[in-house]
Structure 1
């Protein structure tokens, strides 16, 4: 097990702790602890990809688990935020639907022997979603309410754009026959 894959596993293992602090009222500082866990988990995403490419340690496990870990982290956060009344159901549905659609699309591509690389739009979507989630959990109030709202819209728009871009650029996958 290499370092990038270990970081991916750590990210997955952090999710239940994040959810517990978001939902269970364990301490007076639950949101701050959840926020710290989410930030650490998000940073492992950046670090594992960087290390895997830098050290030529890209593995099939990493190709499978890294995007799955990201989806689990973001979807868990969105569901917790929804449960706490901090985000709109529509936004959560759009983001989670996009993840299911792209995952299904990737399965069809893999079945046809096609590997689809992440796009700039997908990376921008992920970054905007992470920032949105951090701002919503932090819930600083004041001027930050405007920033939170702006990032909810930015993340939602980038989610839709990345979906359309992904499918459009790889539309031939849907025409492939085994």
Structure 2
């Protein structure tokens, strides 16, 4: 178990903590969003850090290739569904984002069955960063910045769709019948 994989496991471990803080009454309302935001931001930072460590120290493993994107999807999905429950985010946004994730995950599985590895693209990285910033801004729940929130929501949706189309177009040979 190398350091990069430990950071990925830490990110997964932080998800239930984030959910407990945000969705229960264990912490009083004025502070729960700030604590949840801190946990989410730290978990998001581990995403960048584990990838950097794995690449720079040649610690890329099969386990890491599996767990890192899974941890990202679990973190973002947990946050998005929580924001819908709290009525801070429209369900259609979450449906678009999750649909893309299911489509691309299935697409990657088909590619993997053919021995093709589909690496993360820049569009995918921009999508993830935009989604994480959107979630953090919504968690802040500051009145008067609704326009900025809406801009980030739309950017997250747009980059989500663009990255999904980009993966499919660049790897369309995966879908061709033999």
TM-score, L = length of structure 2: 0.97
Unaligned runs of 5+ in 2: none
* 1:15 counterpart residue number: 15
Alignment length, in residue pairs?
Answer: 176
TM-score, L = length of structure 1: 0.97
2:150 corresponds to 1:149: yes
Contact kept in structure 2, 1:136 and 1:148, CA below 8 Å? yes
Measure, in 2, the Cα distance between the counterparts of 1:150 and 1:60.
Answer: 37
Q: Map 1:120-135 onto structure 2 (within 5 A).
A: 120-135=122-137
Measure, in 2, the Cα distance between the counterparts of 1:120 and 1:25.
Answer: 39
Residue-by-residue CA offset, 1:65-84 (whole Å, 9 max, x unaligned): 00000000000000000000
User: Deviation above 3 Å: which 4+ runs of structure 1?
Assistant: none
Q: Please give the secondary structure, in 1, of the residue aligned with 2:4.
A: helix
Q: Please give the secondary structure, in 2, of the residue aligned with 1:86.
A: coil
Q: Cα offset for 1:176?
A: 5.7
Contact kept in structure 2, 1:2 and 1:57, CA below 8 Å? yes
Contact kept in structure 2, 1:112 and 1:176, CA below 8 Å? no
Measure, in 1, the Cα distance between the counterparts of 2:117 and 2:85.
Answer: 36
2:54 corresponds to 1:52: yes
Unaligned runs of 5+ in 1: none
Q: Cα offset for 1:26?
A: 1.4
Measure, in 1, the Cα distance between the counterparts of 2:82 and 2:139.
Answer: 10
Q: Map 1:80-119 onto structure 2 (within 5 A).
A: 80-119=82-121
* 1:3 counterpart residue number: 3
* 2:33 counterpart residue number: 31
Q: Cα offset for 1:15?
A: 0.3
